[in-house]
Structure 1
Amino acid sequence: MNYDFTIIVPVYNELGNLNRLEQLLNAYFQKASRQTCAILIDDGSSDGSTALIREISNRNEHIYSIIFSENSGKGAALKAGFEAVKSPLVGYMDADLQTHPEDFEKLFPFTKEYQLVTGWRKDRKDTGIKKISSLIGNGIRGLLIQDQIHDSGCPLKVIDSHYAKQIPMFSGLQRFIPAMILLQQGKIKEVPIPHYPRLEGVSKYSFKNRFLGPLIDCFGYIWMKKTYIRYNIKEKKLY
């Protein structure tokens, strides 16, 4: 089947959320404005998520799966998903269901003009510590990266697949997707979306990987920005 839009869902130890994720995806497929599928990417889960992902993929026509042999990180899961998609647009969301697939519809109206349309969780439904660490991390990242994004880590995005496939692989990739689109001279747009409380499972993030990790990764991005190779081919004749 030819799809217009593919949703990438990285999964790491989210067993309690997967059945509800399946229900929300199937409900969205029925009313989506574009022909849509999803790819669940298991990042080496150890809680039984892997087996359930296989079952969900086998029993649903529009849900596919990629299974990692070991935990490689969210950036690796996204990169694997970007490389696998064949649709002109690719999006992603987290399996914790603090964002819902139906809210992709809020982003679609801007995809003709912008190569990345990303959600902005203005009203966060997180714990106080999580809100503060995210606020500090976003502030420092914004100061160093200067991509003019309020909520770079929002796990609801729609990207032109050509641009997504050009994003290089490195740890912490998900924090720099807007900046990587800008490096390719693409245009980005933020759109406010709802944010929902986590009902099952636990967050995989702490102060260390919300603040210290991103701070170190920012310096890696600054180096990449200075050395990034960009070119446009006017014409070619091969073989």
Structure 2
Amino acid sequence: MDISVVVPLFNEAESLPELTDWIRRVMKANGFTYEIILVDDGSNDGSWEVIGQLYEQNPFIRGIKFRRNYGKSAALNVGFEATRGDVVITMDADLQDSPEEIPELYRKIKEEKFDLVSGWKAKRYDPLSKTIPTKLFNAATRSMSGIHNLHDFNCGLKAYRKEVVKNIEVYGEMHRYIPVLAKWAGFTKITEQVVEHRSRKYGVTKFGFSRFINGFLDLLSIFFVGKFSKRPMHFFGTLGTLCFLTGLGIIVWLIGSKLYDIANHVKYRNVTDNTLFYIALVAVILGSQLFLTGFVAEMISRNSPERNHYQIDKTI
């Protein structure tokens, strides 16, 4: 099979017939063998019923339905697991991504041998409240990841070599940073393609202000995991050592000062009467805990067998 198109969706019943028909026409015009995997992320507007109707009309459509809303990352992760095509295309269900971009994305993967091609919506139809934070996040991600040739990490329209989606794990809000996940999995041939950004035709956006906070936290998480997951003690050990030695140094200085005062018959205070003693004690304890707490918490999270377990209600 040439292409798997993965479409995560939440309450997009109105746009699905037009989107799938558009994809079908593009595939037929270019002679591609394909499948469309529609992942219903707990919709409550009848999207699943529409998917069932579309499946009856087009056997190349497949559907996966979550029992509740887990988020776009979960939908993509499950969709990636279900793909069978040599090239995987992801796109949003709101008709803001054009299926006409698919042939060129496919060509870049198959002929130019890229691992991942990310869309870049150079001209956007979003309000400033969305575009300005997006630019800031993209700049921060470029700096932290070292992927300097991408302008828009979060564009939903992307193409992947099959091996990429089978070797990365998307969770939390990590769909924003899939190129970073791919790079740290060893897939370094990453480029971008300018794509059309269409104005939304149906419904309203499903993302609120919380996505900026979650996105920032996930950026920090992905930076730490990518840089220190194989050597976490380089991070926690360094901080722990600095805290421990700082606290120990203060205690040694306090004890030395007291001994000096005793030797010179100078009036002195008990070490425990000095505020610095308690600051030093906290530093020593904190330094010891840094060796354990953060490391254990991160490793438990990354190795939990339930982290990417989602309740799937139905499949087609």
Same amino acid, percent of matched pairs: 32
SS of match in other structure, 1:16: coil
Equivalent residue runs for 1:179-190 within 5 Å: 179-186=180-187, 187-190=189-192
1:196 and 1:128 map into 2 onto residues whose CA distance is 16
Q: Which range moves more in the overlay, 134-143 or 79-88?
A: 134-143
Structure 1, unmatched stretches of 5+, are 230-239
State the AA in 2 paired with 1:91: I
1:33 and 1:121 map into 2 onto residues whose CA distance is 27
**Match of residue 45, structure 1, among 39, 43, 46:** 43
**Match of residue 33, structure 2, among 35, 51, 54:** 35
Look up the match of 2:147. 147
Give the 4+ runs in structure 1 shifted more than 4 A. Answer: none
Q: CA RMSD in A?
A: 1.6
C-alpha displacement at 1:133, in angstroms? 2.5
1:76 and 1:104 map into 2 onto residues whose CA distance is 23
Look up the match of 2:203. 201
Look up the match of 1:130. 130
C-alpha displacement at 1:128, in angstroms? 2.5
**Match of residue 70, structure 1, among 65, 68, 71:** 68
1:30 and 1:154 map into 2 onto residues whose CA distance is 25
**Match of residue 20, structure 2, among 22, 47, 68:** 22
Look up the match of 2:171. 170
CA distance 1:130–1:169, shift in 2 (3 Å):
closer
Contact 1:133–1:207 (CA<8 Å) still a contact in 2? no
SS of match in other structure, 1:159: strand
For 1:148-207, what per-residue CA distance to the aligned partner results, in whole angstroms no more than 9, with x for missing partners?
A: 221011111110111111112321121111111111221101111111100111111233
Contact 1:104–1:156 (CA<8 Å) still a contact in 2? no
Contact 1:10–1:74 (CA<8 Å) still a contact in 2? yes
State the AA in 2 paired with 1:24: W
1:100 and 1:62 map into 2 onto residues whose CA distance is 19
State the AA in 2 paired with 1:151: D
Contact 1:106–1:193 (CA<8 Å) still a contact in 2? no
1:88 and 1:153 map into 2 onto residues whose CA distance is 23
C-alpha displacement at 1:87, in angstroms? 1.6
After TM superposition, the score normalised by the length of structure 2 is 0.68
- Does the alignment pair 1:11 with 2:13? no
SS of match in other structure, 2:119: strand
Greater share of helix: 2
Contact 1:5–1:35 (CA<8 Å) still a contact in 2? yes
CA distance 1:170–1:78, shift in 2 (3 Å):
same
For 1:105-148, what per-residue CA distance to the aligned partner results, in whole angstroms no more than 9, with x for missing partners?
A: 22223214211011111011222322222222222333333322
2:127 and 2:51 map into 1 onto residues whose CA distance is 28
Look up the match of 1:117. 117
Structure 2, unmatched stretches of 5+, are 231-316
C-alpha displacement at 1:227, in angstroms? 4.2
Look up the match of 2:251. none
Contact 1:114–1:188 (CA<8 Å) still a contact in 2? yes
